[in-house]
């Protein structure tokens, strides 16, 4: 299914590797990205970066908060960064 905000030519890249005795999962996209404020709040329950979205049009703002709980239950961390020149990078670190 293609999102209405996805542009032709945008990519999603998934990488896994070991670093500092941790299992790393990196997901990077070249989509519209997330604002600076959004990066500080996207793991909060019910936060939606795209204010035009509603429960009817997709998303309740719970997905990344649930992902955070799962990662923390495995003693890991999850963070998001800007992907230059556009997009977002999510990095999950789990103990090996």
pLDDT, position 96: 81
Does residue 48 form part of some domain? Answer: no
Is residue 58 domain-resident?
A: no
Tell me: cis bond preceding 49? Omega within 30 of 0 counts.
no
Check if the beta carbon of residue 50 is closer than 8 Å to that of residue 61.
Answer: no
How far apart are the two ends of the chain, measured CA to CA in Å? 34
Q: Tens digits of per-residue pLDDT, 18-60?
A: 999 999 999 999 999 999 999 999 999 998 886 655 555 667 8
Q: What is the CATH number of the domain that holds 15?
A: 3.30.565.10
Give residue 2's pLDDT: 35
- pLDDT for 40 equals 93
> Is residue 27 situated within a structural domain?
yes
Structural domain count of the chain: 1
Query: Which ranges constitute the DSSP H helices of 7-94?
Result: 36-41, 63-73
The strand pairing partners of 13, in sequence order, are: 28
Return the C-alpha torsion angle 62, 83, 21, 68, nearest 10.
-10
pTM over 0.85: no
């Amino acid at each position: 299914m293609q999102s209405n905000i996805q542009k032709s030519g945008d990519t999603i890249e998934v990488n896994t590797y070991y670093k500092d005795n941790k299992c790393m999962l990196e997901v990077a996209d070249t989509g519209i990205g997330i604002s600076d404020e959004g990066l500080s709040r996207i793991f909060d329950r019910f936060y939606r970066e795209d204010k035009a979205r509603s429960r009817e049009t997709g998303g309740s703002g719970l997905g990344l908060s649930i992902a955070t709980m799962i990662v923390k239950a495995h003693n890991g961390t999850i963070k998001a960064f800007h992907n230059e020149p556009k997009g977002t990078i999510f990095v999950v670190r789990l103990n090996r």
